[in-house]
Amino acid sequence: MKLRLATAAALALTLTACAPSTSTPGAAPSDGGARTGTLKVWLFDEPNRAPKEKVVNEAVAEFTAAHQGTKVDIAYIAVDTRSERFKGAFNDPASAPDVVEYGNTDLPEYAAAGGLADVGPAVTAWSEGADLSPDAKSSATYEGTLLGVPWYVGVRALYYRTDIFQELGLKVPTSIAELTTAARTVRAKKPELFGVAVGGKYTYAAMPFVWDAGGDITSLNSAQSRAGLKAYTDLIADDNCPPQQCADLTGGKTVDLFASGKAAMGILGNFNRAAVDAGAAKGKYAVVPLPGSKPGSIAPAFAGGNNLGIMKNSQRPALAADFLTLLAGKKYQSEMYDAMGNLPTLKSASAVVAAKDKFVEPFITTISNGTKFVPLDPGWGKIDASAVLPTMIEKVATGKSTVEQATDEAAKQVDAALTK
């Protein structure tokens, strides 16, 4: 018995010697590193990658022609598992890329992990850098440091069915009240349709209502936020989109509903155009900015999108900056719009795009009207992952809690996550 205890103790002792693994980030060369060699680039894979790949390859060809002795190695990483890939890259500097594309809501987490390099000087030195809109720039800034160049943005606006509006004699809504009335009229006259497709899990459709009312994610239990939330949850009701069907809808599901012709309106992004055109709604819809509560106003949209950044561990930061500014420049931003429908972040590029395609006009109007963003804090990842906002919306929409209770609870969780 004694011996057994001794063995156990010895085993325990050897084990206590091992702590959980932690990597030490290496320092980047201060002189900008080598100007030749292979530049490793990670871009997001897309369901229809071919057009994106074509534009990127063109940029690579231009880059290698201008930089003797360089090669660019592009890897397309899956969006679903990007988090693991990035964590892996931060933990193992040797296999990390130089230039990366990343979702702008992921920024704080990556920044707190210490994985991204300051691109401020590179952007200042870049001739097109001044052309970045302040909203876009602030969405890539963490604690005063610019950690990426916004490559493209996506915003949502109000898609509506022109045929149904005409048939029922409805006017295009210019305020939330008109939007609500129009939605209820559709549902009353055509019970098989939803007025406007809204969902309890569709945070980025709900937040514009909150922002428009003067609220924010960091002050969910303020009177303004509550008013905004109520305006949204009032739409998840039997007279528009019954909670039974709509309380658990995600944004993607509302896209399906609008595209398949089951909803007269939907709050969809510029990036959903292809999905809508592939459905029954094709050719029978138009888009306007999502109205705010004041007649004629526009509700602030969430500016989702992707940034291009440089990894802190990059051994060729100067070369990486050259490639980044080339790919994020006016030429390739407008080409990316043609290829993928991604909205440019440079004013010059959006002017080019707007002149070519009328479709983007409501989205560009929405952007120039001012966009909002999630709190730039590593705690946002936690708020997002633990579904604080959808839970709040669903609690109100299903009548499980009052607006006051649900917002108090959510505000507490947001505070806890952000102050950590």
Partner 1 sequence: MRQRFTPLWLLLPAAVVLGGLFLYPMYQLGLISVLDFRQAQVSGGQPTRFVGLDNYVQLFTDPQFWSVLLATVGFAAACVVATLAVGAGLAVLLTRISRVPRLLLSLAAMAAWAVPAVSGSTVWMFLFDTDLGFVNQLLGTEGFNWMYDRYSAFALVGAVVVWSSFPFVMVTLYAGIEAISRSVLEAAALDGASTWRTFWQIMVPMLRPVLAVVVIQSIIWDFKIFTQIYVMTRGGGLAGQNLTLNVYAYQQAFASSEYGLGSAIGVVMMLILLAVTVLYLRTLRRSGEPL
What distance, in Å, lies between the first and last C-alpha atoms of the chain? 47
The C-alpha atoms of residue 51 and residue 43 are separated, in whole angstroms, by: 13
The C-alpha atoms of residue 209 and residue 199 are separated, in whole angstroms, by: 13
CB of 410 to partner 1, least distance (A): 11
CB of 244 to partner 1, least distance (A): 5
CB of 185 to partner 1, least distance (A): 21
The C-alpha atoms of residue 144 and residue 162 are separated, in whole angstroms, by: 45
The C-alpha atoms of residue 210 and residue 217 are separated, in whole angstroms, by: 8
Closer to partner 1 by Cβ: residue 22 or 127:
22
Interface residue list for partner 1 (CB under 8 A): 3, 7, 11, 15, 18-25, 87, 90-91, 109, 112-115, 200-201, 242-245, 247-248, 250, 378, 381-382, 384-387, 390-391, 394-395, 398, 400
The C-alpha atoms of residue 228 and residue 317 are separated, in whole angstroms, by: 44
User: Look-up: residue for tokens 């009335």?
Assistant: 181
CB of 366 to partner 1, least distance (A): 29
Closer to partner 1 by Cβ: residue 161 or 312:
312
Computed on alpha carbons and rounded to an integer, the radius of gyration of the chain in Å comes to: 24
Closer to partner 1 by Cβ: residue 264 or 299:
264
For residue 79, what are the contacts with CB-CB under 8 A and spacing of at least 6? 44, 45, 46, 103
| Residue 338 one-letter amino acid | D
CB of 322 to partner 1, least distance (A): 26
Q: Which of 126, 76, 118 is nearest to 100 (CA)?
A: 76
For residue 27, what are the contacts with CB-CB under 8 A and spacing of at least 6? none
CA dist 299 → 169, 209, 231 (Å): 24, 7, 12
Tokens representing residue 215 in the block: 């609220």
User: Look-up: residue for tokens 């109000």?
Assistant: 158
Closer to partner 1 by Cβ: residue 231 or 247:
247
- The neighbouring-strand residues paired with 68 are none
Closer to partner 1 by Cβ: residue 46 or 409:
409
CB of 379 to partner 1, least distance (A): 9
CB of 3 to partner 1, least distance (A): 7
Closer to partner 1 by Cβ: residue 113 or 403:
113
Closer to partner 1 by Cβ: residue 129 or 195:
195
